[in-house]
Structures are given as structure tokens and as C-alpha cells.
Amino acid sequence: MKKAVSIIMGSQSDLETMQEAIDLLKKFKVGFEVKVLSAHRTPRELAKYVESVPKKGVKVFICAAGGAAALAGVVAAHTTEPVIGVPIETKSLKGLDSLLSIVQMPAGIPVACMAIGRAGAKNAAIFALEILGIRDASINLKLASHKRTMAAKIKRIKLKI
């Protein structure tokens, strides 16, 4: 199976958050790979990796990092493929630092920022699928079905009040 999505994390501890994205991609049976690479601690390996993946078939990047979260921006600097950023919650500033470091990119180098934490991780995977869906109608159909299931689940809720 081709690896259409590359998930990069700045630190091993981000896996807990990113598991949401991994599980969703598995469920959709879309090929992906996961790497721990840091814009600050392994800059050369990161650059080399980003430049190497197009031949593997990678079409979208998902980058998760916390604090001075340079990862997504630096990946975006090395590719013209879409880069999605997930701000990891941090101990003191609760991910506000991660969020601003990811979302406030300068004109010219976009990063698609998701919500802080797990919701953002899951949405990164869905957004990656939406992107892949523009050239693979079968993914789009699955997304529409996934969305209907989600809505149906809400409609079935019986509150005990």
C-alpha cells in the first residue's frame, strides 16, 4: 500500500495525542507512515526526510508539535504539498504557545492549523482524507458516510435528565 500521508511528531510523547489520527487513517485504510523528527533536535534529518517522501507517494503531511512548535512550518518550507499542523497541549500555557507558533505563518508558506490536542489530531486525519478525496472519489464517499454515522449517533442520544 502506498503511503499517502506522512505523520511527523516533534517528540515521542506526542504519540498519545496523535493516536487519534493514526486510528482514523487505519479505519479508512489509507496508507501512512509515522516519524519522530524535530525541527530543533534533528533539523537535517527532517529536511532530508521531507524531500525524500514524494517518491513514496506521500501527498499530505500532518505535523504535531508543542511549545515553540516550528515543525509544521519547517516542513512546509521544504515542500509544496499541503502541511497540516496539530498544536500539542503544553504543561504551562496549555497549547496556546503551540497554536500561535503553528497558525501565525508568514505569507507564502501556509500551514493548515487544527485545534489544540486530540480533537485537532483527529481532524488532521479527516482533513488529510478530504484532501486525498479530491482525486479519489472513494475516499470522499467514505467521508460522507462517516459524517452521516456521526450525525446519526447524535440523533440517537437519549438524555437522562
**Which residues between 18 and 77 bind a copy of itself (CB under 8 A)?**
19-20, 22, 34, 36-45, 47, 59-60, 66-70, 73-74, 76-77
Q: Is 8 in the site for a copy of itself (CB under 8 A)?
A: no
Q: Where are the alpha helices (DSSP H) in the chain?
A: 15-27, 43-52, 71-77, 96-103, 118-133, 137-156
Q: Is 6 in the site for a copy of itself (CB under 8 A)?
A: no
**Residue list 124-153, contact with a copy of itself (CB under 8 A):** 124, 126-127, 130-135, 140, 143-144, 147, 150-151
Task: List 112's β-bridge partners, or say none.
Answer: 84
Name the helix (H) or strand (E) containing 61: strand 60-66
What φ, ψ does residue 93 adopt, rounded to 5°? -95, 5
Q: Is 80 in the site for a copy of itself (CB under 8 A)?
A: yes
Q: List, as one string, the DSSP characters of 124-154.
A: HHHHHHHHHHTT-HHHHHHHHHHHHHHHHHH
Closer to a copy of itself at the Cβ: 53 or 84?
A: 84
Q: Is 113 in the site for a copy of itself (CB under 8 A)?
A: yes
Q: Is 86 in the site for a copy of itself (CB under 8 A)?
A: no
Site residue total, a copy of itself (CB under 8 A)? 87
By CB under 8 A, name the one of 1, 29, 55, 108 that touches a copy of itself: 108
What CA–CA distance (Å, rounded) separates 61 from 124?
9
